[in-house]
Amino acid sequence: MWLKPEEILLKNAFKLWVTEKDNEYFVLQRRRGYGEGGGGLTGLLVGTLDTVLDSTSKVAPYRILHHTPDSQVYWSVACGVTREEIFQHWEWLQQNIMRTLSVFDSSEDITSFVQGKIRGLIAEEGKTSLVLEDDPEKFREALLRFEKWFELPPEEKLVTYYSCSYWKGKVPCQGWLYLSTNFLCFYSYLLGAEVKLVISWDEIWRLEKTSNVILTESIHVLAHGEDHYFSMLLHLNETFSIMEQLADYSIKRLFDKEAFEREPALSDPLQITKRGLEAHAKSQQFRTFFRLPKEENLLEVHEGFLWVPFSHFNTLGKICLSENYLCFASQDGSQCHVVIPMREVVNVEKPDSGSRALTVFVRGKKALRFSEVRDYQRLANTIRSRCGISASPQHSASPEAIRGECQSLINHFEDNPEDVTLMVGQKDSSKAVSTEALMTVFHPQDVENLDPKMLKEKMKEQSWDIHFSEYGRGTSMFFTRKTRDLIVRGVPESLRGELWMLFSGAVNDMATHPGYYTELVEQSLGTSTLATDEIERDLHRSLPEHPAFQSDTGISALRRVLTAYAYRNPKIGYCQAMNILTSVLLLYAKEEEAFWLLVAVCERMLPDYFNRRIIGALVDQAVFEDLIRENLPQLVEHMTDLSFFSSVSLSWFLTLFISVLPIESAVNVVDCFFFDGIKSILQLGLAVLDYNMEALISCSDDAEAVTILNKFFDSVTNRDSPLPPTVQQALVGNNSKASHVGVDISELIREAYEKYGSIRSEEVESSRKRNKLYVIQTLEDTTKQNVIRVVSQDVRFNITQLDELYNLFKRQHFLSCYWTMKSPALLHHDPSLAYLEQYQLGFQQFSELFSLLEPWAFCTYKSSLSLWVFRLIDENQDGLINFKEFCCALDTLYSGSFTNKLKFLFKLHLPPAFTGSPLHSEKQRILHYVPVPEDSSHLTRLSAFDLPEDGVIKKSPERGRGRIDLQAYLKQWQNEILKKEETIKDLPRINQTQFIQLSKTFYNIFHGHPEEESLYRAIAHVTSLLLRMEEVGRRLQEPSSPSESEKAAGTSPAEDSSTEQGAVTPESCDSSHNSQDAGSELSDTEWSFSFEQVLASLLNEPTIVDFFDRPLNVQTKLGQARAAQLKLKANKGKDSKGN
pLDDT along the chain (1139 residues), means of 10: 77 68 88 62 58 51 84 84 83 82 82 83 60 64 87 90 84 88 90 85 93 77 92 88 93 81 80 89 91 90 89 88 93 82 89 80 85 89 81 41 46 46 37 71 66 84 91 89 91 92 94 92 85 89 85 91 92 88 94 95 90 88 92 85 81 91 92 94 95 89 88 89 64 44 88 92 90 92 92 93 94 86 66 72 89 74 80 85 92 92 92 66 35 34 36 38 52 59 77 89 86 91 88 70 42 38 44 40 64 91 91 90 82 58
* 3-class DSSP assignment, residue 413: helix
Q: Give the β-pairing of 17-22 and 26-31.
A: antiparallel
Query: Could you tell me which of 425, 321, 445 has the C-alpha nearest to residue 373?
Result: 321
Q: Quick one: pLDDT at residue 581? A: 94
Count the neighbouring beta carbons within 10 Å of the beta carbon of residue 53. Answer: 9
CB burial of residue 105 (10 Å; 0-12, 13-18, 19+) = exposed
Q: Quick one: pLDDT at residue 394? A: 34
Q: For 336, phi and psi rounded to 5 degrees?
A: -110, 130
Strand stretches in 965-1008, DSSP E:
990-991
Q: How far is residue 686's CA from residue 758's CA, in Å, rounded to a whole number?
A: 13
* 3-class DSSP assignment, residue 1006: helix
Strand stretches in 725-773, DSSP E:
743-744
Contacts of 470 (CB under 8 A, 6+ apart): 309, 310
Q: Quick one: pLDDT at residue 425? A: 35
Q: How far is residue 81's CA from residue 147's CA, in Å, rounded to a whole number?
A: 9
Q: Quick one: pLDDT at residue 476? A: 86
Query: Could you tell me which of 593, 575, 453 has the C-alpha nearest to residue 516?
Result: 593
Q: How far is residue 186's CA from residue 205's CA, in Å, rounded to a whole number?
A: 18
Count the neighbouring beta carbons within 10 Å of the beta carbon of residue 682. Answer: 26
> pLDDT tens across 488-511, in order?
988 998 899 999 999 999 999 999
C-alpha atoms less than 13 angstroms from C-alpha of 103 in its C-beta half-sphere: 5
pTM, two decimal places: 0.77
Strand stretches in 243-287, DSSP E:
none
Contacts of 934 (CB under 8 A, 6+ apart): none
Q: Quick one: pLDDT at residue 727? A: 58
Q: Quick one: pLDDT at residue 590? A: 93
Q: Quick one: pLDDT at residue 746? A: 92
